[in-house]
A = this chain, B = another copy of it.
């Protein structure tokens, strides 16, 4: 099965078989006939595989069979109704279909000239999504200096924002002279791990955390202002503030309007990481998430978290696209072309770390069209309702404390830290459910993030019984 044209029949048959296998798999997940996590020792899957590749080609149907015999039983099923760990990774038939078509077309869209439709579709769908989320005009491709781009992850979006900010803060010196340890990134301890990682990768070293407002997980604007002033006095250059709308630990939202005001006054780049919570702004009742985003220089949401889109699909907008492209463009002779030189086109290679890229926009286009805004909103509302149901069950139960509940996230603990830790251990050993441990205000807690498209009310009650039973078994 090696040619694009000479073995049409076996390819067609394999795709037909694959779609039936996937439909059966999704049905098995919906019915909870599969566990969430496998019961496997490290190395078991590797040991079941041959030590080397075959010398001669094998038929696709055998490879599919081995996938279901060897790989699928060794997976954690992120689409399982009782998968409540991390934040979700979305999925839907439209997203899967788009991946098939994208792969089949096999286009590499690094520049407009290597895939005009790939590029323009990305400009159009990122504009669509910006409007649907109520983001400012200045993030649109139709604005003077804004636009959207699809990154692989919120991590990459933060890194891209950081290098653009360094370029701007250094007035271009950074390109030639590097970071020289003088530039500062600001974030809280609640920022996702990708934020200090981006600071480190960009050569900034450790990024000291700005304190949070007392009793909250939200950045303290006065503390930020004081930190910036102290850094300036010490000869450092404040470059970027990374705020979060929907922190990983507790779904807290930084005070964007206050931070934006400070960033404007200080000439510091404001990036808003709304990886998880951002898509909720599709619904008017959650539109408050965007309050203050007008002052942001860049903003990112993971369509692959809460928009029924498979990973990877992070959508990042900037109001200063020239900072991105000035920071990142390098044009050797083999990348020169007339379209680029006119300046009339977007070359997405200069909006991201990698040079090459697949056609990224087809998936978002399929998902937005197949669901419609109505469908995407009702998916979010469904998940929020499921989280409310779970939060209510937790709050009413003796021996449980509801720590926080926002959007699809429910964080709780038991009456003592020892019991919370014991319950976390028991739950981690139960293949029928997955949650994540967390530390909130220095105390252990458990996070349940709702997001499987297959979770129903009955499923929430099953999840709750599992949690409660493990808790009751704790001494």
- CB <8 Å contact, B197 and A93: no
Give the Cβ gap from A188 to chain B, nearest Cβ, in Å.
12
- CB <8 Å contact, A72 and B105: yes
CB interface residues, A 58-81, toward B, < 8 Å: 58-60, 63-64, 67, 70-79
Residues of B within 8 A of A357 (CB): 153, 311-312
| A439 sits at the interface (CB 8 A) | yes
Give the Cβ gap from A349 to chain B, nearest Cβ, in Å.
9
Known: A107-B76, A205-B177. A453 touches B91 (CB 8 A): no
Give the Cβ gap from A86 to chain B, nearest Cβ, in Å.
7
1/0 per position for A14-47, CB-CB distance to B under 8 A? 1110111111011101100000001010111110
| A370 sits at the interface (CB 8 A) | yes
- CB <8 Å contact, B118 and A75: yes
Give the Cβ gap from A407 to chain B, nearest Cβ, in Å.
16
Instruction: Kindly state the separation between the CA atoms of A2 and B90 in the bound complex, as whole angstroms.
Output: 11
Q: Please state the number of chain copies in the assembly.
A: 2
| A283 sits at the interface (CB 8 A) | no
Q: How large is the interface on A (under 10, 10 to 19, 20 to 34, 35 or more residues)?
A: 35 or more
CB interface residues, A 108-163, toward B, < 8 Å: 108, 112-118, 120-121, 123-125, 128-129, 131-132, 152-156, 159, 163
Instruction: Kindly state the separation between the CA atoms of A205 and B12 in the bound complex, as whole angstroms.
Output: 50
- CB <8 Å contact, A94 and B1: yes
- CB <8 Å contact, A369 and B337: no
| A466 sits at the interface (CB 8 A) | no
Residues of B within 8 A of A108 (CB): 78, 86, 89, 311
- CB <8 Å contact, B114 and A4: no
- CB <8 Å contact, A12 and B1: no
- CB <8 Å contact, B447 and A334: yes
Give the Cβ gap from A6 to chain B, nearest Cβ, in Å.
9
* Interface 9-mer from A264-272, A325-333, A412-420: A325-333
| A232 sits at the interface (CB 8 A) | no
Residues of B within 8 A of A333 (CB): 249, 437-439
1/0 per position for A151-194, CB-CB distance to B under 8 A? 01111100100010010000000111111110000000000111
* Interface 9-mer from A216-224, A291-299, A372-380, A392-400: A372-380
1/0 per position for A196-226, CB-CB distance to B under 8 A? 1100111111100000000000000000000
Give the Cβ gap from A355 to chain B, nearest Cβ, in Å.
5
| A428 sits at the interface (CB 8 A) | yes
Known: A15-B100, A85-B114, A338-B428. A201 touches B202 (CB 8 A): yes
- CB <8 Å contact, A114 and B11: no
Residues of B within 8 A of A235 (CB): none
Q: For chain A, what secondary structure do more than half of its interface residues adopt (helix, strand, loop), or is it mixed?
A: helix
Residues of B within 8 A of A72 (CB): 105, 117
- CB <8 Å contact, A75 and B345: no
- CB <8 Å contact, A104 and B25: yes
| A436 sits at the interface (CB 8 A) | yes
Give the Cβ gap from A202 to chain B, nearest Cβ, in Å.
5
From B92, B179, B204, B328, contact of A4 by CB (8 A): B92
From B46, B93, B201, contact of A14 by CB (8 A): B93
Residues of B within 8 A of A338 (CB): 428
- CB <8 Å contact, B86 and A114: yes
Report 30 cross-chain contacts, Cβ distance below 8 Å, ordered by A residue.
A1-B93, A1-B94, A1-B370, A4-B91, A8-B23, A12-B19, A26-B104, A38-B116, A45-B121, A46-B124, A53-B125, A54-B369, A56-B372, A57-B374, A72-B117, A78-B106, A86-B114, A91-B103, A96-B103, A96-B104, A106-B310, A155-B356, A156-B353, A166-B203, A176-B206, A180-B180, A194-B354, A196-B330, A200-B327, A201-B201
19 more contacts with CB within 8 A, not counting A249-B334, A334-B438, are A4-B91, A4-B453, A4-B454, A15-B97, A25-B104, A42-B342, A57-B372, A60-B93, A70-B117, A86-B108, A89-B107, A89-B108, A99-B103, A108-B311, A159-B353, A192-B332, A192-B355, A193-B331, A197-B353
The 6 closest A-B pairs by CB, nearest first: A203-B203, A74-B117, A178-B205, A179-B203, A99-B103, A153-B354
